[in-house]
Amino acid sequence: MDIIPAIDLIDGKCVRLSQGDYTRRTVYNEDPLEVARQFEDCGISRLHLVDLDGAKASHIVNHKVLERLATKTSLVIDFGGGLKTDEDLKIAFASGAAMVTGGSIAVKSPDVFKRWLSTYGPDRIILGADVKDGRIAVTGWTESTELDLEPFLDAYIKEGISKVICTDISKDGMLQGAAVELYKTVLQLHPSLYLVASGGVGSMQDLEQLAEAGLPAAIVGKAIYEGRIPLKELARFLA
């Protein structure tokens, strides 16, 4: 299972929210590059970089931070948050993103998202499926929709999507375990999907449960910053 640490950005700083609530945020480090280099030093090769300012503003904001991390580390970065236009996408790729994640855009402007998928291919375009009470949420999780998860996924898999980051918002930042049963259900329906679990990982045991459930990858954020998953243990897990 791939381990993908997350760096969430507000005002260029490394932060974490609880359950997607912008008023419940903690700043863990003012220098995201320092954090990224710590990940790199323990053998991690991937990074999930989220522009929370961009998600709220509906356009890319923290692309300079992306560029800095991409040029000063060897991490393969997937970038999301606020990507709404072709220009946003071009800026993200020009700034060093290997992949981009589109969530709100896939809901609100499906024709644009499908065009991105057709132009750049499923290796570079990831579908973000953020779930709140079984329904898709958008705009930095501040807005719920009437879209159920499974039909949403099914429609985009038919369009060629092969990578999905699925976040259970109720678990995000709570450190009380991931939505293992949800992910099992998705994988049973789509066994070839590169499904990335996101939200709730609070211990090495949580990661082991996801691996046992057959998850191809998992995003870890707050558990690292809170010291619940030491980087040395992550390195051993990866080895």
Q: Is the pLDDT of residue 236 over 80?
A: yes
Amino acid 148: pLDDT: 92
Q: Which of 53, 88, 130, 172 is catalytic?
A: 130
CATH number at residue 170: 3.20.20.70
- For the segment 49-80, what is each residue's pLDDT rounded down to a tens digit? 999 999 889 899 999 999 999 999 999 999 99
pLDDT, averaged across the chain: 93
What pLDDT does residue 145 have?
79
Distance of CA 216 to the CA centre of its chain: 14
Q: What is the pLDDT of residue 132?
A: 85
Cα angle 3-110-99, degrees, rounded to a multiple of 5: 30
130 counts as catalytic: yes
95-132 b/e (C-beta count within 10 Å ≥ 16 → b): bbbebbbbbbbbbeeeebbbebbeeeebebbbbbbbbb
**Is 78 among the catalytic positions?**
no
Residues linked to residue 135 through DSSP beta bridges, in sequence order: 132, 148
Residue 14 has pLDDT above 90, yes or no: yes
> What are the pLDDT digits (tens) for 151-205?
999 999 999 999 999 998 887 766 889 999 999 999 999 999 999 999 999 999 9
Token pair 């779930």: residue: 131
Nearest Cα to 43, choosing from 73, 8, 7?
73
Quote the domain boundaries for residue 66: 2-238
What domain count does the chain have? Answer: 1
Alpha-carbon gap, residue 16 to 195, rounded angstroms: 22
> In terms of pTM, does the model score above 0.95?
no
Which position among 8, 53, 78, 168 bears the catalytic label?
8
pLDDT, residue 62, reads 98
What per-residue confidence (pLDDT) applies to 217? 98
